Amino acid sequence: MGFKGEYLNKFDDSGRISLPAKMRDELRSKNLGDTLVAYYTPQSKCLKLMTKSDFEKVERAHIDNPPTNRSDVDIYRYIFASSMDVDISASGRITITPKHRKKANLSDECYIIGVNDQIQLWNKQEWETESQRIESELSDEDLRISSHLIF
């Protein structure tokens, strides 16, 4: 499974946004259902979406290896407290709550990007700034190292 691509979409007045067809096709091709789990972490600057099965792996890891230090406990607590199921409608739209939109600074337009096992929703300006930063900071050496590790 792998989500990829960058799409600019708009929210409607009810907080709904269309999930790109290629991402919906990826979910269907792997028979992963029509529900995602949305969560937010403060350092990420975006709203993250995972399949229910991938999120269940995070839950299982937490049960099998409970955090032992305060920082890890806080991270798990925050992620689980902020998580919610997001159903994909028959028309391919998802509804993002006002709280989640506020936390991730999502306004009318947002980028929907695929990052392998995650779908991320980014504020338009923040993603453009972040994308530009990444492009300017990566060296040829970084790309060679990353390409070797990824491919």
User: pLDDT at position 148, please?
Assistant: 53
Of 72, 22, 45, 40, nearest to 127 by C-alpha is: 45
The Cα-based distances of 91 to 4, 66, 85 in angstroms read 21, 39, 17
Token pair 């399949």: residue: 51
User: pLDDT at position 61, please?
Assistant: 84
| pLDDT at 119 exceeding the cut of 50 | yes
Work out the mean pLDDT of the chain and round it to a whole number: 87
Of 9, 22, 13, 25, nearest to 122 by C-alpha is: 9
Task: Out of 67-76, 113-122, 125-134, pick the least confident.
Answer: 67-76
Domains and CATH numbers, the chain: 6-123 (3.40.1550.20)
User: pLDDT at position 151, please?
Assistant: 44
- In the chain the first and final C-alpha atoms are separated, in Å, by 15
pLDDT in tens, 93-117: 999 999 999 999 999 999 999 999 8
pLDDT class for 142, splitting at 50, 70, 90? low
